[in-house]
Structure 1
Amino acid sequence: MFDPSRASRLLKALFRPLAVLGFGVSSPFALGQQWSLQEFCWSTWLAALAFSWACVATAVVQILSKGSAAAAGVEERLPFVKGWPSPAVSLLGAALAVGAAVAAFWIYAFVFSFYGIFLSVFAEMEPVRLFGRNGFINSDFFTPVARLAERYWPMVAGALIADAGLLVGGSPWRRFAAPFHAEAVRMHLFVIALPFVSMAAWALFGRNYSPAAILLLSLLFYFFPRKSAFANPKTSAIS
C-alpha cells in the first residue's frame, strides 16, 4: 500500500536543497570543461577525501572552542576525572581531541590511498606518473592530491556545500567517524557502479558517452541518500 509519509521522507532525503546547490556548482565545470570519465572519477575521489578531512577539522575546532561543554562531556564519559580541576579536564579533552584529529587525518589518507590505487588501474589518466597504475602507488599521495585540487576544486566545493549540515551539526566526536558512514559507502558505490554506468551510457550514446555518464554519476553522487545518525543535533558535546 502506498504510504504518503514514507514517500515524502524519501523525496526529502533525495532532493536536499544543499545537494541541488552543490550539484549546480560542480556540474557546469564538469560538462563545460569536458572532463573525461576518468577525470570525473578522480574528482569524486578528491571530493570525498576533502569531505573526510573537513569532518576532522570542524570536529576538533568545535571541541576546542566549546571549552566547558567539552569538559562536562569528558567528565561524563571518563568518571575517574571527576574532582579534577576544570582546567585539567579541559586540557585533557583538548589533548584527546587533537590526538583523535591527527589519527583520523592519517587514517583517511591511508584509506583513500587504497581507493586511489584502484582508480589508477581502472581510471588511469594523465599524467600517468601520478595517476597511472605504476604512478599513484609510487607517489607521495599529497602531490596527486594537490594536482587534482588545481583543476577539480569545483567538485570539492560542491561536495562540501551538499554536506555542509554534516560538518556543523551534531556531536563533533562522532563526526570524526562520519566519513566511514557517508563517504566510504559512496566511494564503494562509485567503484562498483563505474563500469556499469559507463557501459550503459556507451550503449545509449555511443562514442560520446562521457557527458551522459558523468551526468548520471554526478546525480548519484549528490542525491544518494545519506545516513545522518552521527549528526543528531540532540547529542552531547562528547557523545
Structure 2
Amino acid sequence: MTSWTLSMPSLSQPMPSFVSIELFAIVVGTACTVGALVPDMSAATATAVLRSLGETAQREPTRVRDRVWGALACIGASAAALATRGVSLPALATWLLCLSLLIAADIDRRHHLLPDAVTLPLLWLGLLVNLGNHVAPLPDAVIGAVGGYLGLRILSLVVVAITQSDGIGHGDFKLLAAIGAWLGWQALPPVAFIAAALVVLVGLVRNARSNAAAPSRVAFGPALAVAATVVLFVPSLCHA
C-alpha cells in the first residue's frame, strides 16, 4: 500500500549499521524498565479516573507476572521498531504507540474502562505525529480517526437494536479512533477483524473453562490493542 511510509524489511536484511549492539542494549534495558512499570502506570490512571467518577478504587498489589509480561511486551515493541525503522522519529513514535496501547489494554482488562485520559491524548498525538507522515499520511489519519469512531459507534447501535444489550463501550469508539489516527483508515478493517476474532476466541475459551450458562463479558480494548500492534508491524495486512 503506497500510503505507508515504510515497508517491512526482508528477513535477510541485516539490522541497520547505525544500530550498534550498545545502543540496542540501552534500548532493550530502557524498554524492560518502562514495561515493568506499566502495571503501576495503568493502576494509577485507573484509580484517578474512578475516583473522579465518585467510585471506590482499591489498588491491588502488582504481581510479578504482570511486570514480566509488561517488560516482554515493551522489549518486543522496541526490537520490532528498531528492526523496521532504525533509530528515527518514526521508531520512537511506534514505540510510544505500543506503550500507550499496552497501558490502555491493561486498564480495560482490569476495570472494563478506557478513560479519555488515555484515548484522547493518544488520538491527538497520532494526528500530530502524522503531520510529518511518519506513520501514515495526514489525510488518511484524519479519515481513520473519524471512521474509527463512527464505524464502531454505528456497529454498537446495531448491536443494541438487535440484542437489547449494552453494546460496545464509548471508550472502545475512542480507542479505535486513536488507532485510525495513527495507522490511517486503511488499517481499520484488518484491526476490527482481528480484534473481533480475538474477542470471540477468548469468550469461547472462558466459557468452556467456567461452564457458565451466560457468556462472560470480554473487554474489547485489549483485542483492539493487539490487533493494532499486529497491523502496525505487518502493514501488508491493510491490502491483503
Length-normalised TM-score, structure 2: 0.35
Q: Larger C-alpha radius of gyration, 1 or 2?
A: 1
Name the structure, 1 or 2, with higher relative contact order (CA <8 Å, separation 6+): 1
Going by fraction, where is helix more abundant, 1 or 2? 1
